[in-house]
Every structure is written in structure tokens, then in C-alpha cells.
Amino acid sequence: MKKQVSAIKGTKDILPRDVEKWQSVETAAKRIFELYGYREIRTPVFEATELFEKGTGQTSDIVIKEMYTFPDKAGRSLTLRPEYTPSVVRSIIENRLYLQPESLRFYYIGPMFRYDKPQKGRYRQFHQLDIEVFGEEDPAIDAEIVEMAHYLLQELQVTGTETFVNSVGCKKCRPAYLKDLKTEAKKAEESLCSNCQRKMATNPLRIFDCKVETCKKLAQKFPKITDYLCQECEQHFARFCEHLDFFEIEYTIEPRLVRGIDYYTKTTFEVASSKLGAQDAIIGGGRYDDMMKEFGGPDLCGIGFAMGMERLISAVPFTQMKEKFLYLAYMGDGAKRAGMELVRLLRREGIECLIEYREQSLKSQMSRANKLGAAWVLIIGEEEVKKGRYQLKDMETGDQEERTREEIMKIFGEIS
């Protein structure tokens, strides 16, 4: 192999055959989100670094080791967004959107950037489909966004998914829980694996995720967040679950479900697919009641989720059906002109037409048309130009008929 410039590690070209899939997922998502009253918002791909330091959180792995951060020419520190939520919150505050009568429900589709080590289902530039709702405290909205996610998955015919829900408490009740959890973990410290010993200090909730058998066993006896929730959080969680039951959504309460982002409060949830590898979460989200206020905005709660496009797409079964199109085969300059003119009119009628402008024998033009899957071939040579009658061939049946321009326009006028 010659040395050549290649795509950056962890990034991928989305080629035409795949773009089709992307577009169909995007179209379905937009349609459904709009049905629920969401509107699209687009924010810049890069922001001031401090936005994520404050929003995503100084202690999150994302901020500590996964951000694409660089100085611009004026020396400002910028960051390619690793997630979307802080950007929307900034935009709402900056544009005073909370003073408008429109409901604060937004969706967004676009690239995110994280300096992770790539593996199956994880890329450095990846794409998310996000939705966010602000100012809705009622746990009914928590359940509604899960229901909306389920509806989208159903529309995309994604099967084999499992939904996990949890509550991570709030600023009032979580500290007490973490303290007790650490105390319990400390007691078992010597039996825990080295990894978990490290997590004890940094993120004790993560101990629940360990795959080592002895850790798993010990963790079963550790306190659960659900036993420590304050009255408000406990009620919120109970009513959230009630609403999920009301929507007849199957879910598993997973006390060890912790989103690795600092800002979550109360509800967190995740949808995992059995069709993926180790990175099996296709949707992750939760409530973040304090972020808006912490950014100096109004005291508005928020909730949202993100879907990983790459992961979602690999779980969607696609059946491809090609659009029918016409291939123009011509021989000689006169035929080329006549063909170009006719094809131009056909395109105005909504018929997809392809002419390839290269010197080829009729045989190879026919062969091309067949390979590309053309439904019809329009054949024009010197004789056809003289007569004003062209050969129209149906590639499936092999039938070929001589037609005038008017007849051809009429035939395709009826098809389209």
C-alpha cells in the first residue's frame, strides 16, 4: 500500500449506500419528535471549553480525558462538543427562550466528539439524536419521553431491546447515600479487585458495574440508592414507574444504573440492544434539575435523552427498495443532443434519468444499465434522430418499442 491520507482514527465516511439508511432514520425521528411537540434546534459544534467543564462536570470522564480541546488564534480555549445538553441550556439562556410562549421541547441531530479509544459502537466522531424538555417537573414527562423513544424504536422495527430505569436522587439525598456506600465498600476493601478499590474514591456507584464475581457478590450487600431517596425523589420515582406501567412499557429497575455524567438528578434511564457488542446502550438519558440555574438562568428543571445514531442504525433492519430510473444510451453527437433534451423533460416530470457522458459501445451502455439496475433504457442512435422515433426498452421484461417524443412523455407522465 502506498502512503496515503486517510480518515482520522475513530472517524468514518458515510457512503451513499449508508446515507440512505441515515436519512430514513432521521426522517422517522423528526416525524415522531414533531408529533410530540418537539422542534429542531441547531447549535454550534464547538463551544467555550468552560461550558462543558461546568455543565458536563469536572469529575466526569468526558471532561477529564475525552474532550477535543484546542486554543483558537486569539488564545480562547474551545472544545468540540462531547455532548449536547450544555449547548441547549446555554442557548436557551442566551436567547431568553424561556420568556417565549412556545413550549421548551427541542430535538437535535448532529455529530459529537470524544477522544475515546475506538471500538465496536464507539467512535471519536459519532452522531446523536437528542431531545430535551425544560420546565416540566411532573414525572409524567419522564415517562412520556421513554414512551416516545419506544415508539421510535417500534417504528424503526428495532427489536431485542431492554429498558433500565433508576433514580440517582438529588443534592439532598445522594450525599448521604454515597457516604454510606463508601463506608460499606471500605469495610470490604481487601476483598474488592484493584479496579473497584480505585472506584471507591472516584465513583463508588461504578462498583456495581464490576464483572469480577467476588465484587458482584459483595456489591449485592451494599446499600442501594433506592433505599436512600428523600421523600420528594422517592415519590417522583414511584410516579415515574406508575406512568411507565400506564403506558405498558416493560422496564427493569436497575439501582446500579448510573449515568457517567455529573449533572443527573432523580430519573435516569437507558435502552440497551442485544444486537450490539459491549457498547450496547442505544439510548441514555435522565433528568437534570439544577443545570439551568447553575448556568445563571432561571430555575427550570430539564430532562432529555440521547440516541447514538451509529448504534441505532446497526440495530435497525433495513429492506432496500430502489427507485426506478431510466438510463439513456446514445450513439453519436446528434443522438446525444436529442437524448439530453428528452431526459431534461423527463426529469421535470419527476423521472430519475442517468446519462453517462463517455464514449462507449451500445453493448457496454446496456451492460452498465443492467448493472446499475435501470428499469428502462432509452436508446438513441443516428437513425432514431432522423426518424424522430426512439427505442424504449423495459429492462425487466426485455420488451422494446419505438416511440415518439410525445408518446414517451405521455407514458412517463402517467408513471410519475
Partner RNA sequence: GUGGGUGUAGCUCAACUGGUUAGAGCACCGGACUGUGGAUCCGGAGGUUGGGGGUUCGAGACCCCUCACUCACCCCA
Q: Which stretch binds RNA (CB under 7 A): 138-146, 156-164, 221-229, 377-385?
A: 377-385
Among 184, 325, 360, 411, binds RNA (CB under 7 A): 360
Which region among 201-209, 227-235, 337-345, 407-415 touches RNA (by CB under 7 A)?
201-209
Give the per-residue SS3 of the chain: CCCCCCCCCCCCCCCHHHHHHHHHHHHHHHHHHHHCCCEECCCCCEEEHHHHHHHCCCCCHHHHHCCEEEECCCCCEEEECCCCHHHHHHHHHHCCHHHCCCCCEEEEEEEEECCCCCECCECCEEEEEEEEEECCCCHHHHHHHHHHHHHHHHHCCCCCEEEEEEECCCCCCHHHHHHHHHHHHHHCHHHCCHHHHHHHHHCHHHHHHCCCHHHHHHHHCCCCHHHCCCHHHHHHHHHHHHHHHHCCCCCEECCCCCCCCCCCEEEEEEEEECCCCCCCEEEEEEECCCHHHHCCCCCCCEEEEEEEHHHHHHHCCCCCCCCCEEEEEECCHHHHHHHHHHHHHHHHCCCEEEECCCCCCHHHHHHHHHHHCCCEEEEECHHHHHHCEEEEEECCCCCEEEEEHHHHHHHHHHHC
Among 88, 315, 369, 378, binds RNA (CB under 7 A): 369
Q: How far is the CB of 231 from RNA (least distance, A)?
A: 27
- Window contacting RNA (CB under 7 A); options: 15-23, 155-163, 394-402, 406-414: 394-402
Comparing CB distances to RNA, the nearer of 5 and 99 is 5
Which CB sits closer to RNA, 60 or 351?
60
Q: Does 401 bind RNA (CB under 7 A)?
A: no
Contact between 162 and RNA by CB under 7 A: the answer reads no
CB nearer to RNA: pick between 24 and 314: 314
Residue 26 in the binding site for RNA (CB under 7 A): no
Give the interface segment with RNA, choosing from 248-256, 272-280, 338-346, 408-416 (CB under 7 A).
272-280
Span of 86-94, 151-159, 306-314, 317-325 interacting with RNA by CB under 7 A: 306-314
Among 76, 96, 120, 187, binds RNA (CB under 7 A): 120
Q: Which is nearer to RNA, 27 or 361 (CB)?
A: 361
Contact predicate 85/93, CB 8 Å: no
Binder of RNA out of 21, 30, 182, 206 (CB under 7 A): 206
In the complex with RNA, the residue whose CB is nearer, 101 or 398, is: 398
258 contributes a contact to RNA by CB under 7 A: yes
Minimum distance, C-beta of residue 99 to RNA, in the bound complex (Å) = 29
Binding-site string for RNA from residue 53 to residue 72, where x marks contact by CB under 7 A and - marks none: -------xxx---x------
Q: How far is the CB of 96 from RNA (least distance, A)?
A: 27
Q: For RNA, which residue of 182, 368, 389, 403 counts as binding (CB under 7 A)?
A: 368
Does residue 121 bind RNA (CB under 7 A)?
yes
